[in-house]
Structures are given as C-alpha cells and as structure tokens.
Amino acid sequence: MSDPDFPNELGNIPYSKILGAPLNAAVEANAEASETAAAFIQDVGFTETDSFGSFNAQREPVYVNFHYKKQATNEQGTVETQEFEMKIPLLLLLHVPYFEVDNVTVDFNVSLNSTHMRQVEEEGGGGGSVGGLVGGIIGFNVGASYQKTDKRQQKIERSYDQSVHIEAGSIESPQGVTRLLDVLEQTITETSEDEVSNGDTDDT
C-alpha cells in the first residue's frame, strides 16, 4: 500500500482564495463605507436647487431653524425678553459616518491524518465418513475446507479550520469634508425679533 501524498494534498488547497477572500472583502467594505459617507453628505446635508444666488449650483445646504427666547438689551437700552431664531446647517448637527477596516486577522489550520486499516476474515469447515470394520481396520475419510481473506484499507482524514477576525472603527473625516464643515459653520446666523421687524435679516 502506497504512503499518503501529503505534499500533494496540501498543494491542492486553494490558499489564494481562502486567504485572499477576507482581504478582498475588507477592501470592498472600505470602498462601500466611503461611498455611503459621500451619499450621506449629499442626500442629507444638501438639497437640489435650480440656482443658488449668482452661481449655477445644483445643491444648497439644508438648514434647521430654532426659535427660542432669552434676555437681551433692546435699542432703548432696556433689558427685555426677546425671541430669537437661529439657522444651523443640518450637516453640523449630525455625525458623518466614516468607518474603516483597519485590522484583518485570518487563521487557517489544516490537519491531514492517515489511518491504515487491516481486516482479516477467516472461514473454515470440515466433514468425514466412517466405513465398516474390514480386517480389523477402520476406514475413515475426512474432508476439510478453509478460506482466509485479508483486506487492507487506507483512509485519509482531512480537517480544515478557518477563523477571520476583523476590526473596524470610526476615522477622521477627509480634509475636504473638514473644510466643508468649517465653511458651513460660518453660515450659522442668529436673528432677533427686532431685527426681523426692522428688516435687518440675513438670508445667508
């Protein structure tokens, strides 16, 4: 019986697919995460428009208006309770979901076991006949049969074990997004009811 060819067994394992598939999945996950963040900024933080001022822009920021009251000094120098309105870009109130897969650990174990098995089967049988007494000699005929079967088997057991550990976390926004948020922060406005009544509103 030939010995098991373990090197050939191991050589037939598609390591490139087994080890490369989790890495390719991590790359695709990073790409999808970036696309999700870009779509989030465009769909949530901006709205479609035909024009924006003197610019032929396709989108303008979405603002959230807050109304509140606080103590303020009016034009006559008297402190009174006034109503204010604040406009804040919606994108500044939300967290842009930037995530990245930063660690991928792939553990792949292969176990090959060779088991030799031997099975022996034996079969036996016999028969006889006794004749009459002739001249003081007993005639005796014996017939016998015997069969032996020797079976040998070789069994190779394969065991595969794979575990993939992936770590992902939130990362800082790209420089362009940071610059965008800085510009939007400058558009925050606070308007009092006196300014509204005097027509001194800023529609930025």
Q: What is the pLDDT of residue 19?
A: 85
Q: How many domains does the chain have?
A: 1
For residue 76, tell me if it sits in a domain.
yes
Q: What is the pLDDT of residue 149?
A: 66
For residue 15, tell me if it sits in a domain.
yes
In this prediction, the residues of the chain whose per-residue pLDDT falls under 50 are: 128-134, 140, 142, 204
C-beta separation of 197 from 97 below 8 A: no
Secondary structure (3-state) at 195 = helix
For residue 38, tell me if it sits in a domain.
yes
For residue 34, tell me if it sits in a domain.
yes
Q: What is the pLDDT of residue 10?
A: 76
143 vs 152: CA distance, rounded Å: 31
| pTM for this entry | 0.61
Query: What's the angle, vertex CA 99, arms to CA 94 and CA 103, rounded to 5?
Result: 160
For residue 151, tell me if it sits in a domain.
no
Closest Cα to residue 9, out of 118, 114, 153, 106?
114
For residue 162, tell me if it sits in a domain.
no
Q: Which domain holds residue 21?
A: 8-48+61-107
CA torsion sign for 167, 168, 172, 176 is positive
- One-character DSSP codes across 123-174: EEEEEEEEEEEETTEEEEEEEEEEEEEEEEEEEEEEEEEEEEEEEEEE-PPP
Residues 6 or more apart whose CB falls under 8 angstroms from that of 86 comprise 65, 66, 68, 188, 189, 190, 191
The H-or-E segment that residue 110 falls in is strand 99-134
For residue 44, tell me if it sits in a domain.
yes
For residue 35, tell me if it sits in a domain.
yes
Q: What is the pLDDT of residue 136?
A: 52
60 vs 51: CA distance, rounded Å: 9
